[in-house]
Amino acid sequence: MTKKKMIIFSNTERDINFEIARKVAGILRKKGRETVLCPMLTGSYNADVWPPDFDTSVLEKELPLAEIIITIGGDGTILRAARAAAGFGIPILGINMGSKGFMAELEADEIDLISPIADGRYKTESRMMLDTAVIRNGETVCRNFALNDIVIKGDNKVIDLTLYGDEQRITHFSGDGAVVSTPTGSTAYSMAAGGPIVEPSAHNIIITPICAHVFEAKSFVLVSYRRVTVEIGYKKHNPAYMSVDGGEHVDIQSGDIIKVHRSKMSTRLVHVTDRSFYQKVSEKLYNG
């Protein structure tokens, strides 16, 4: 049986001139594996345009014949690969060229360690994802899914939020917004907003207020089967937006209801080292 392709998904803003991608391809080809370079391109370098519009179309065309995706960049590169590959179940190995890289397995100076992948010698770990929908006047106006988080934020204004778990009220507050994250996303915006660090292979939903204007508004860690509802209050008629995994901003209005629950999809991340999550936290947060 013909072996499937090994995709190298390189962030063109991090991997300049595909230096790391070429090295990775060389290692795999020496082992007799077919590699395909799928650059993650952006059409704009304008700092006023955020988030940038990254193009993953080349990757998406190659996915049906892929065995594994090797990403080169930061955690954002892994997130974009995960979104494209979510329906295929293809495992992802990240090579970090970003500032933190909690999801990445290897650093740029460790690429020699990918050699066993060519022989199928690697482990995978499943990471839960979240589905979300925006309901407006009883109609669904947006659907999406996340590996990291769903961020609801006022557009430079305070907003009112009420959060429920299985229709039971959890908390209400005014503030800058809230982050609803997976354990994988607990080390991203949720942590920056004061949320807990959760072991990424766990099955939980984490709710973290952003700059709440009441002391009682704390983070909550829910079981994964809880169905979360976020209501945007009418008291503040201020503009707001929702962002999923750092992607395109979706406008949110007063009275909108945002539904979040565990997705049937998941992301498989590849491990080729014995480095634990606790080691990564120590290296990235305390020794960096």
Q: Measured between alpha carbons, how far is residue 154 from residues 211, 236, 252 in Å?
A: 11, 10, 9
Closest CA to 170 of 245, 222, 126: 222
Name the 3-class secondary structure at 212: coil
DSSP 2: P
For residue 119, indicate whether it is catalytic. no
The active-site residue out of 15, 48, 53, 75 is: 75
Who contacts 227 (Cβ-Cβ below 8 Å, separation ≥6)? 165, 166, 259, 260, 261
What is the rounded CA–CA span in Å between residue 214 and residue 191? Answer: 19
Chain centroid, CA 105 distance in Å: 15
Beta-strand ranges (E) seen in the chain are 5-11, 35-42, 54-55, 66-73, 92-96, 106-107, 123-136, 139-146, 149-154, 159-165, 168-175, 177-181, 204-210, 220-223, 228-232, 240-244, 250-252, 257-271
Whether 163 contacts 172, CB under 8 Å = yes
Q: For residue 286, how many other CB atoms are within 10 A of its CB?
A: 7
Residue 280, CA distances (Å) to 53, 158, 230, 286, 288 in order: 29, 35, 32, 10, 10
Q: Which residues are catalytic?
A: 75
